[in-house]
Amino acid sequence: MNEFGIINLSRRDFLKAGAGLTLGVTVPSLAQMPGQGGRSVVAAGALEPNAFVRIGTDNTVTVIVKHLEMGQGTYTGLPTLVAEELDADWGQIRVEGAPADASRYNNLFLGALQGTGGSTALANSYEQMRKAGAAARAMLLAAAAERWNVAPDSITIARGAVMHLPSNRRTNFGQLAASAAKLPVPKEVQLKDPKDFALIGRRVTRTDSRAKSNGTAIYTQDVKLPGMLTALVAHPPRFGGKPKSFDAAKAKAVKGVVDVVAIPQGVAVLAHDFWSAKKGRDALAVEWDESGAFKLGSAEIMAEYKNLAATPGLPARKEGDLPGAFARAAKTLEAAYEFPYLAHACMEPMNCVVKLSADACEIWNGEQFQSIDQPEVAAVLGMKPEQVKLNMLFAGGSFGRRANPHADYLVEAVQIAKGIDGRAPVKLVWTREDDMRAGHYRPMYYHALKAGLDAQGNIVAWQHRIVGQSILAGTAFEGMMVKDGIDATSVEGAANLPYAVPNLGVELHSPKMGVPVQWWRSVGSTHTAFSTETFLDELAAAAGKDPYQVRRTLLAKSPRHKTVLEMAATEADWTTPLVSARVGDRRGRGIAVHESFNTVVAQVAEVTVKRDGSYRVDRVMCAVDCGLAVNPDVVRAQMESGIVYGLTAAMYGAITLKDGVVEQSNFHDYMPLRMNEMPRIGVYIARSSEKPTGVGEPATPVIAPAVANALFAATGKPIRSLPIRIQT
Amino acid sequence: MITLNVNGKPMSVDADPDTPLLWVLRDHLGMTGTKYGCGMALCGACTVHVSGQPARSCSTSLAAVAGKRITTIEGIGQTKEGRVLQEAWIANDVPQCGYCQSGQIMSAAALLAKVKRPTDAEIESAMSGNVCRCGTYNRISLAVRQASRNLK
Ligand code: FES
Ligand code: FES
């Protein structure tokens, strides 16, 4: 055992057939989650090792990745860190998803928890994975020195080749693996000086591109176990409904249907294949108990929120003397903003495969939150969490959805498997309609903003009231992240407004509604970035100032914000007027900047508004400061991705309720952005030698205010509710 | 028993004639490269070729393809369009979650088989039926253009 805790696991039970050298890294003193103020938890059994690298005698280097690959690039980024310090050749890298074991695979930013989220995957692994690679390298080097009987420092390792240049000898990792496995782990390892990086900071190709281009990548939807049944569930039409009674006769008469069972979530139809299960479900007659069902519509919910916003909420931030500042202000402006529920609508609808035996439960899933899923599933079965084995497969998107704080769809699948006494493995499949109507949405919100300007148009007072359901209430995170009634995720991006405003108040109301809600790509910033960044443009307009220059001035003490803001403005030629291609078209340019998950993103959007009120986003210039960009191309891809995801929501996204029933069902009424609507996108990465910060989410919240500000510039009419509707 | 030809191989299936081709491929023939995304011909994740034409397999019944020639993502690499497209997809790291990409490549392959050098507008109209929630659209159009140039 050395100072950072790498131990040699080769002779332990982690040794697999064909593996030569396996290294583990113990849990270091747990890092603090950024923004959570000094929380520090030490995992029980912190000396328990966790394996990250396996070097086979076949010269492959397998990196065991603890984070879900859902598109954001973990299966490329984390292996890059190992390969860098190991001096491996990128072509010899293989990737394996880690099993559920929080003692080895915990997220260092989430304390003792194993899970993927909050754009933390690469950031929390940055040193851990490099150390794992460096230790393996040192052992390979020692094994070569011993074999050749030469001084270790006379050996060179580069791109997977181990060389002794003076004697012109050469070997590879595979040939050294077995002897390296017998050596002690070095007392300490030296990590590379960043100037010597060969892979970090450059583009390496994604490890999963090939399998995802030829149909061989395996998702949960593709898992087929011997004897497995496919289950579809008839869910209650309203949240909170329960099955009262059902008639299974017609469903059971469908060829291929094997069983029909009631579960707490509804009634499940099990069949040999999807289509039979679907026909069986269509034939099923269920009567629902709606005594506890939620029956409000979106309009009623919003009306209630509006009323609440007229009253003071709980303080989330208080600076200076707000009433005094408003009293002295030369001019006061107010604006209110409305945000709908949003579904994640991952390309792969939720699904889960479960195999039960007397003393174990094995699950195949796009597994995102092991430390929640294990105990939730175990509780259903009366098992211990460690009896639940989780296989982490590729996820066809998540955007937060698969990290459900109640393991909702896993539990549903397990209930079905339990309902047939584990007689067969079960694959729960949600149709697109099931997925769209299952809740766990980004909450609806209402924001009321009020600002005071002095005679020169400077902002002297800023009051921000937010109304919306708490995401964390009733979850395992409530104790951790809800303080004095303030859910940190409801006010993030607003309570930490970066602008230098002397008198400032942020307040929160967290009404309860019977609609299940959840984090959605960039969480609180999805709404706070919009209201703060568009309101700021309204204030700039009222003061007759340039919105870019207003931001520059107010961000004088926030260098990262200022840098990306200036980069985006420069790339967009901010001062050059836009020209219209057609008479009657109005064009506009808008800017927005926002920090989320320790990454700062600025975007300039350019739009064209046609005479009929339709518009298109022509171009987006995006600048990002994410610390050191480990893989600049993956950073670019995530910026592009976040922009499309955020733009989709800005243009079309709305889940609405009528008498408690979700009105949307599929991609015709919950519309995704398509290729013909794509803006050109330019991504510019700020130079930085700081530790990497996340990129999966931070581009998402910036695009809606950038576009709304561009439309405001083009039409003179502010956009105050999403999705965007242009008034003609 | 209904017979069809999938990727050059004759296959027979014992399923109801109303079963969508998507589920025939996935559940009866064990070919899982073709994906389910919406079941309503709205997303293109399930795109295959039927007699060389792109088709949404979720909305194409088994009965309708009896005796027909089907190409799926598992077989498209055997065609020259499929090969250059897959190469361009990998070279540009197009996929993110990857779930939509089988359908994207099948739509692109059908386009290139018909129009060797498509214009941007032709690419847009051929590909706009395919949804990508990860937002890889700009890379997709880049890769299609690159593949088109590599098509001898
Ligand atoms: S699954 Fe066929 S088009 Fe969506
Ligand atoms: S790559 Fe994820 S949906 Fe297209």
Q: What is the DSSP letter of A341?
A: B
Distance CA A708, CA A713 (A): 9
Q: Kind and range of the H or E element at A323?
A: helix A322-328
In chain B, positions 79-108, which contact chain A (CB-CB < 8 Å)? 86, 89-91, 93-102, 105
Percent of chain A at pLDDT above 70? 93
SS3 per-residue string spanning A274-308: HHHHHHHHHHCEEEEECCCCCCCCHHHHHHHHHHH
Contact at CB, A213 and B15, closer than 8 angstroms: no
For residue B35 and ligand 1, the question of a CB distance below 6 A is answered with no
pLDDT over 60 at A4, yes or no: no
3-state DSSP assignment of residue A94: strand
Q: Extract the tokens encoding A621.
A: 């210039």
Closest ligand 1 atom number to CA of residue B42: 3
Closest ligand to C-alpha of residue B46 is 1
CB neighbour class for A716 (10 Å; exposed up to 12, middle 13-18, buried from 19):
exposed
Lowest mean pLDDT among A11-25, A253-267, A504-518, A709-723: A11-25
For residue B43 and ligand 1, the question of a CB distance below 6 A is answered with yes
Q: Which residues of A touch B109 (CB under 8 A)?
A: none
Closest A-chain CA to B141: A675
3-state DSSP assignment of residue B147: helix
Q: Is A195 on the interface with B (CB under 8 A)?
A: no
Closest ligand to C-alpha of residue B58 is 1
Higher pLDDT, A8 or A571: A571
Q: Which residue has the tokens 């003490």?
A: A557
Q: Kind and range of the H or E element at A568?
A: helix A559-571
Q: Which of A71, A347, A633 sits opposite B37 (nearest CB)?
A: A347
pLDDT over 70 at A137, yes or no: yes
Q: Best mutation site among B26, B38, B99, B101 for ligand 1, i.e. most ligand atoms within 8 A of its Cβ? A: B38
Q: Nearest 5°: CA angle at B133, between B130 and B134?
A: 115
Q: How confident is the model over A652-664, as a mean pLDDT?
A: 98
Q: How many CB atoms are located within 10 Å of the residue A138 CB?
A: 23
Closest ligand to C-alpha of residue B56 is 1
Contact at CB, A209 and B95, closer than 8 angstroms: yes
Contact at CB, B95 and A213, closer than 8 angstroms: yes
pLDDT over 80 at A434, yes or no: yes
Q: Supply the pLDDT for residue A22.
A: 54
For residue B97 and ligand 2, the question of a CB distance below 6 A is answered with yes
Phi first, then psi: give them for residue A31, nearest 5 degrees. Answer: -70, 160
pLDDT over 70 at A31, yes or no: no
Closest B-chain CA to A351: B36
Closest ligand 1 atom number to CA of residue B35: 1
For residue range A49-71, what is the model confidence (pLDDT) as tens digits? 237 999 988 999 999 999 999 99
Closest ligand 2 atom number to CA of residue A396: 2
Q: Supply the pLDDT for residue A167.
A: 96
Distance CA B34, CA B15 (A): 18
Q: Extract the tokens encoding A464.
A: 């921000």
Percent of chain A at pLDDT above 90? 88
Q: Is A665 on the interface with B (CB under 8 A)?
A: no
For residue range A363-386, what is the model confidence (pLDDT) as tens digits? 999 999 999 999 999 999 999 999
pLDDT over 80 at A45, yes or no: no
- Long-range contacts, A143-146 (Cβ 8 Å, 24+): A143/A176, A143/A179, A143/A180, A143/A183, A144/A171, A144/A176, A146/A179, A146/A183
Q: Supply the pLDDT for residue A36.
A: 24
- Quote the ligand 1 centre to B6 CA distance (angstroms): 19
pTM above 0.90, yes or no: yes
Q: Best mutation site among B32, B46, B50 for ligand 1, i.e. most ligand atoms within 8 A of its Cβ? A: B46
Distance CA A674, CA A680 (A): 13
Q: Which residues of A touch B77 (CB under 8 A)?
A: 214
Q: Is A191 on the interface with B (CB under 8 A)?
A: no
Q: Supply the pLDDT for residue A41.
A: 31
Strand A93-97 and strand A155-158: pairing?
A: unpaired
pLDDT over 80 at A445, yes or no: yes
Q: Which residues of A touch B93 (CB under 8 A)?
A: 205-206, 209, 633-634, 637
Q: Best mutation site among B24, B43, B104 for ligand 1, i.e. most ligand atoms within 8 A of its Cβ? A: B43
Q: Which residues of A touch B120 (CB under 8 A)?
A: none
Contact at CB, A71 and B124, closer than 8 angstroms: no
Distance CA A617, CA A610 (A): 12
In chain A, positions 269-288, which contact chain B (CB-CB < 8 Å)? 272-275
Q: Which of B16, B77, B133 sits opposite A214 (nearest CB)?
A: B77
Distance CA A21, CA A177 (A): 5
ipTM of the prediction: 0.98
Q: Supply the pLDDT for residue B141.
A: 98
Strands (E) in A454-585, as ranges, are 459-468, 482-483, 486-487, 503-509
Q: Extract the tokens encoding B113.
A: 């088989």
Closest A-chain CA to B34: A215
Phi first, then psi: give them for residue A470, nearest 5 degrees. Answer: -80, 130
Q: Supply the pLDDT for residue A21.
A: 54
Q: How confident is the model over A669-679, as a mean pLDDT?
A: 98
Phi first, then psi: give them for residue A317, nearest 5 degrees. Answer: -160, 145
Lowest mean pLDDT among A10-14, A584-588, B14-18, B24-28: A10-14
Closest B-chain CA to A665: B38
Count chain A–chain B contacts defined by CB atoms under 8 A.
177
Q: Supply the pLDDT for residue A590.
A: 98
Residues 6+ apart with CB under 8 A from B123: A675, B111, B141, B144, B145
Using alpha carbons only, how large is chain A's radius of gyration in Å?
27
Q: How many CB atoms are located within 10 Å of the residue B117 CB?
A: 10
Q: Which residues of A touch B99 (CB under 8 A)?
A: 219, 346-348, 396-397
Q: Best mutation site among B35, B90, B97 for ligand 2, i.e. most ligand atoms within 8 A of its Cβ? A: B97
For residue range A348-362, what is the model confidence (pLDDT) as tens digits? 999 999 999 999 999
Contact at CB, B102 and A215, closer than 8 angstroms: yes
Q: Supply the pLDDT for residue A5.
A: 39
Alpha carbon of A528: minimum distance to chain B alpha carbons (Å): 23
Q: Which residues of B touch A258 (CB under 8 A)?
A: none
Q: What is the DSSP letter of B29?
A: S
Contact A542, A361 (CB under 8 A): no
Distance CA A33, CA B71 (A): 49
Distance CA A497, CA A493 (A): 6
In the predicted model, residues of chain B with pLDDT beneath 70 are: none
